[in-house]
Amino acid sequence: MKKLFGTDGIRGVANRELTPELALRIGKITASLLGRGEKQPLILIGRDTRLSGAMLEGSLVAGIASAGATARLLGIAPTPAVAYLTRSLQAAAGIVISASHNPIEDNGLKIFNREGLKLPDELEREIERIYFHYDELGAGLPRPEGTAVGGVQHDGELLESYLQYLKSTAASLEGLRLVVDCGHGAACYSARVLLEQLGAEVVIMHGEADGGRINVHCGATDTAALQREVVRRGAGAGLAFDGDADRLIAVDEKGSVVDGDAILAICAINMVRRGRLQKNTLVATVMSNGGLDLLGEKQGFRLRRTAVGDRYVLEEMLAGGYNLGGEQSGHIIFLDHATTGDGLLTALQLLSIVRETGRPLSELAGQLERLPQVLYSHPVASKEGWDSNRVISSAIESLRGRLGRHSRVLVRPSGTEPLIRIMLEAPLPEDKLWDEARNLAEIIAREQG
């Protein structure tokens, strides 16, 4: 069956794969399925700063209104804000127009149900079934007339209630000097307001809501400039958000990166000591460093691993009754406070620990002793069939033998881009791991060409 949804919603190059026509149909189908049984159900829409966002927003609104639902536009808003507000207002759905960390030409659609959760697989499949058989099945969707046609509302003030909620989860940040890289994305307004209201001294970088520069040499995917600025300013920490502000990468006072694994380690240790880590279990993906397993043995928590993708982390958390999980890339889920990864919430939880312990961020992050690990991405002509290719399978098994004990070799296709991603981890020099990763990537690319 053809697929629209990847690991994080629908993504593609805007106006090529992700067209206004697609957005219109998705808006109509989503409103019809998730708003079924309601009179003029409410659907929230937020977007990041991408230039194509307004175009896709207009099409979504047309589809939603044509199904008899009301579209409430939040404007530029972080993805987790849409998830939170959808849940708090008990809206039928929330839709975010964003491609997160992807290049500026891409865009995407993330859909949340009324609980603020990403859609289950079966509902995504039903949306896809109707979309790909629209000539046949689209006729059965609602097409109201007159006063039953849906409406459009503009409500930028709702974002303030989200920021007030975040403030309630954090300690005062009085006296902290922070450098914040907004990546020209959805955090441009929210980050400064929230952190300054909590008392921090804030220096903003890449703070203009500029869809032509979103994620370009800035934000969570490129922290080089932030690292330099933290040291130059003598700041206590740096914070870098991605395009839709659902992930955080931090920088310590020495200019070193504090990634998702280190943030998870800091928060897990703190929650164990306070008796707040449910079942003393942390959830992370197969990409997280093996040092987390070793740290857990010392600090009294165990690690459960999932497939790559924050949706799989959340599924494991919900199924097992766990309240902390995340990814090395900076998607961190605090299930006591939110239903999705939230960069701003993560920043507040991390900085609250810095304030409460009185320890510098570098010292807290140093609690995680990492095994050497490299991550390598390589473009391929096709992501299909690599896992059943005998040449590739043989190369992977041979590599595992060369790396030896306490090693991991993970190969997976990107869920959003035409790439194969390779992660190697072993108690060996990093330059050797890089060489092995490149060699394996060349074999895969040759076989998939």
Query: How far, CA to CA in Å, does 100 sit from each of 50, 251, 347?
Result: 10, 20, 18
Question: How high is the pLDDT of residue 114?
Answer: 96
Q: How far is CA 307 from CA 241, 286, 310, 313, 422, in A?
A: 23, 6, 9, 8, 14
Domains belonging to the chain, first-starting first, are 5-159 (3.40.120.10), 166-365 (3.40.120.10), 373-447 (3.30.310.50)
pLDDT at 1: 56
Predicted confidence at residue 252, as pLDDT, reads 98
Q: Give the pTM.
A: 0.89
Question: Is the torsion defined by CA of 438, 443, 447, 449 positive or negative?
Answer: positive
- Residue 407 is predicted with a pLDDT of 87
Residues assigned a catalytic role: 100
Spatial separation of the C-alpha atoms in residues 301 and 281, rounded to whole Å: 5
State the Cα–Cα distance between residues 338 and 83, nearest whole angstrom.
Answer: 8
Per-residue pLDDT of the chain (449 residues; tens, 9 = 90+): 568 998 889 999 999 999 999 999 999 999 999 999 899 999 999 999 999 999 999 999 999 999 999 999 999 999 999 999 999 999 999 999 999 999 999 999 999 999 999 999 999 999 999 999 999 999 899 999 999 999 999 988 899 999 999 999 999 999 999 999 999 999 999 999 999 999 999 999 999 999 999 999 999 999 999 999 999 999 999 999 999 999 999 999 999 999 999 999 999 999 999 999 999 999 999 989 999 998 999 999 999 999 988 999 999 999 999 999 999 999 999 999 999 999 999 999 999 999 999 999 999 999 999 989 899 998 888 888 888 899 999 999 999 999 987 788 999 888 778 888 999 999 899 999 999 999 999 999 898 86
Two structure tokens written together for 163: 């920021």
- Count how many residues are written for the chain: 449
pLDDT at 7: 82
Q: How far separated are the first and last CA of the chain, in Å rounded?
A: 23
Quote the pLDDT of residue 185. 97
Q: What are phi and psi of 191, to 5 degrees?
A: -65, -50
